[in-house]
Amino acid sequence: MLILLQDINNSGDGGIYAELIQNRAFQYSQNYSVSTDHYFSVNGAALSIQMLDEPLSKQLPASMRVSVGNGSYNTGKIGFKNEGYWGMDVRVQTYTGSFWVKGAYDGVFTASLESNLTSDVFGSVEVPSKSVADDWTEHTFELVPERDAPNSNNTFSITFDSAAASALDFNLISLFPPTYKNRKNGLRIDIAEALADMNPKVLRFPGGNMLEGLRNDSYWDWKDSLGPLRYRPGFQGVWGYQQTHGLGLMEYLEWSEDMGLEIVLGVWAGLALDGGVTPQEDLQPFIEDALNEIEFVCGPANSTWGARRAELGHPEPFELNYVEVGNEDWLAGFPGGWESYRAYRFPLFYNAISKAYPNIQVIASAASSDPGGEPPLYGPNNVNGQVLPLDALGDYHPYREPDELVYEFNRFDNDAGHIVGEVAATHVNGGIRWEGDLYPYPWWIGAVGEAVSLIGYERNSDRIPATFYAPVLKNNNRFQWPITLLQYDADPKRTTKAVTWYCWSLFAHHPISHTLPTHSNSSYGPLYWGAGYDENRNGAKVWKGAVYNTTNSADVPVSVQFQGVAPGTMANLTVLTNSVGDPYMYNDPFTGINIVNTTYTLLTAGSDGAFHFSMPELSVAVLDTEVSSAGNSTGHYRRRI
């Protein structure tokens, strides 16, 4: 069970990246203009963007001037407040902050967390000024509120004495709550823990479309995302907002390390979302750039880019076994993008990476059935599909109606190896698919459809080593893609696990290392199943099943017999059902009600050696002979995919 993370739906900035200040460094790009958005004046101060001759850095050329306004208030404390990513969670805990100032000021700054609704100030701290006229100076502080705020409608403010300085320039204003595993510049704890609780094993990053960029001159350049925040220019996001680059390559790698995740690293392959293709004669620098990126991740500390990683605090190479060349190269700029990928872009990247890193598994960004059209193609497309070198994998992205996912149960029974780099039930059955909107949240029948497809992929896991849900996160205040595993806003109390989270998590908590051949008296449908054993858990036997579309919604009787499992052996049966009946229901963050009903039953193999039980219509189940696995909710089974 694996996750794709790119910054979509404010899943990075304003999501898993824990920074609380929105627009902290006034970053901008061709598509997103510079502004003081998300800042508000305190006591009539005038806020304006300045492009100073001496900016904080070449990468951060814009800053915000805070000066005595024209209004009536021109003495005492003035300043600004920031609304965060649509609010801020304020609790009695240590917040770590910093800001840079230019301008002579002999006094103190006051940094406060306060209500946006009332005059309540939950905590503040005085930060002595080090600020001088002709240089930028960093100020750091810790702020521990005296009490919790009753809601997340809060702001962060900085004020200074206008009698001592009538105008000061500010930049890189940052505030972090405690982070996942205490990483500096780290992850938001509740979101990271909700993902970790699924027992994921692989992280695919940085996209997705984000990797591709809007144009050839603005793809996600990993080098821009390294080092001190002061030197990160930000990224022209592809999902409607400017990004900070705070969640950079090192942060993704540390995240993988902290959750024990295998990495699938996407490298840019010369195609942008506007269809711009890099001609063959210009491609070599990008191939070298990808090799440098790989060296940064897994090269020894005495290699050029390994040394850069060591300089950033991680001399030990990260383990890197999978590199994907591009993203969905069959889609943007079709047919030119696709033709160039097949003709020279993929072969040149593939050859260079395989030669330099023979142990790395190279993945193409398309499947044997791409370019997928309408209706989707279900099997190898020997005319137009990806032609894979023998030892490369493809990548399949089925965003489908649940019926289609079920129909594709045997999609990979006779095909080359692939990852399923993105999959989700996105549209209801029989609808108008991409002509219409995605469903507002993952819904129950969609989750069961996904479960059927997961079983289909897992029973082919010799060739389908990894399946990724995508996209995984959504900030309810600004999003483009509603179907996600987790929804959240500034208030962690509203962080909501979608119904799909429960199905994927159940399967991920019962891993198998080897599939087992299965025999049955009946064919697949309405019951779909697969079985295996896990050598990492003393050979525990596992059966996974999902029931989809029974006649008259009748229960399905199930008997599971494992070869070598004697009568009297015990197994734990976990069954997920929908407690409200309506297959279109979902977990709504605004009600907080979880509609997924989970039951655990200890079963004993009968005299025939079989486990007997029944499954209701639209249910998902796992039978596991490691009985201590019952109710297991945190990951402890780890292995390479």
Binding residues (CB under 6 A) for ligand AHR: these are 6, 8, 207-209, 327-328, 397, 422, 470-471, 481
**Minimum distance between the CB of residue 391 and ligand AHR, rounded to whole angstroms?**
24
551 CB neighbour count, 10 Å cutoff: 8
Residue with tokens 């500010």: 170
DSSP-derived secondary structure letter, 251: H
Which of 8/56 has CB closer to ligand AHR?
A: 8
Q: Which is nearer to ligand AHR, 210 or 622 (CB)?
A: 210
Smallest gap, in angstroms, from Cβ of residue 209 to ligand AHR? Answer: 4
Give the chain's count of helices (H) and strands (E).
Answer: 10, 32
Question: Is the Cβ of residue 9 or residue 225 nearer to ligand AHR in the bound state?
Answer: 9
| Rounded least distance, CB 422 to ligand AHR, Å | 5
> Does the CA dihedral 91-96-99-105 come out positive or negative?
positive
Q: Can you list the pairs that 434-437 forms with residues at least 24 positions away whose Cβ atoms lie under 8 Å?
A: 434/374, 437/482
User: Smallest gap, in angstroms, from Cβ of residue 368 to ligand AHR?
Assistant: 17
Residue 192 or 366: the one with the smaller Cβ distance to ligand AHR is 366
Beta sheet of 108-115, edge-to-edge order: 39-42, 77-82, 154-161, 108-115, 121-128
Residues with Cβ within 8 Å of residue 116, at least 6 apart in sequence: 83, 87, 153, 154, 155
Residue nearest ligand AHR (C-beta atom):
208
The one-character DSSP state at 319 is P
Quick one: 177 or 207, whose CB is closer to ligand AHR? 207
**Least distance in Å: CB of 328 to ligand AHR?**
5
Yes or no: say if 114 and 188 are a contact pair by the CB < 8 Å rule.
Answer: no
Nearest to 529 by CA among 603, 619, 627, 424: 619
Nearest partner of 359 among 308, 294, 301, 270, judged by Cα: 294
Q: Which residue has the tokens 């949240």?
A: 441
Question: 602: helix, coil or strand?
Answer: strand
Dihedral sign of CA atoms 444, 445, 447, 448 in order: positive
CA 258 to CA 554: how far, in whole Å? 45
Long-range contacts of 59-63 (CB under 8 A, 24+ apart): 59/224, 59/230, 59/231, 59/232, 59/233, 59/234, 60/25, 60/26, 60/27, 60/171, 60/172, 60/230, 60/233, 62/25, 62/26, 62/27, 62/28, 62/34, 62/171, 63/26, 63/102, 63/169, 63/170, 63/171
Q: How far is the CB of 372 from ligand AHR (least distance, A)?
A: 10
Based on CB atoms, which residue is closest to ligand AHR, 212 or 415? 212
Pick from 254, 194, 253: which is nearest to 635 by CA? 194
Instruction: Write out the H or E segment, with its range, that includes residue 97.
Output: strand 95-102
- Cβ 207 to ligand AHR shortest distance, Å: 5
Tell the smallest beta-carbon distance from residue 3 to ligand AHR (Å). Answer: 11
By beta-carbon proximity to ligand AHR, the closer residue of 156 and 330 is: 330
**Lookup: tokens for 207:** 């996209």
Of 377 and 556, CB closest to ligand AHR: 377
Closer Cβ to ligand AHR, 225 or 426, answer by number: 426
Is the Cβ of residue 222 or residue 611 nearer to ligand AHR in the bound state?
222
299: alpha, beta or left? (left if phi > 0; alpha if psi -120 to 50) = beta
Cβ proximity to ligand AHR, 328 vs 458, nearer residue: 328
The minimum distance between CB 635 and ligand AHR, in angstroms, equals 23
Q: Which is nearer to ligand AHR, 220 or 296 (CB)?
A: 220
> Which residue in this structure is represented by tokens 């700054």?
109
Q: Minimal CA–CA distance to 472: which of 81, 89, 238, 207?
A: 207
Residue 49 phi, psi (nearest 5): -80, 135
Minimum separation from the CB atom of position 258 to ligand AHR (A): 23
> Distances in Å between the alpha carbon of 73 and those of 52, 67, 77, 159, 436?
26, 11, 9, 14, 52
Q: How far is the CB of 293 from ligand AHR (least distance, A)?
A: 19
Encode 365-413 in three state secondary structure.
CCCCCCCCCCCCCCCCCCCCCCCCCCCCEEECCCEECHHHHHHHHHCCC
The least CB distance from residue 398 to ligand AHR, in Å, is 11
Helix, coil or strand: residue 186: coil
Transcribe 23-70 into DSSP letters: TTT----SSS----TTEEEETT-EEEEEE-SS-S-SS--EEEEEE--S
Shortest separation between residue 413's beta carbon and ligand AHR, angstroms: 25
Rounded least distance, CB 239 to ligand AHR, Å: 8
Q: Considering beta carbons, is residue 155 or 426 the nearer one to ligand AHR? A: 426
Q: 314 is written with which tokens?
A: 């991680």
200 or 471: whose CB is closer to ligand AHR?
A: 471
- Of the pair 272, 540, the CB lying nearest ligand AHR is at 272
Q: How far is the CB of 434 from ligand AHR (least distance, A)?
A: 10
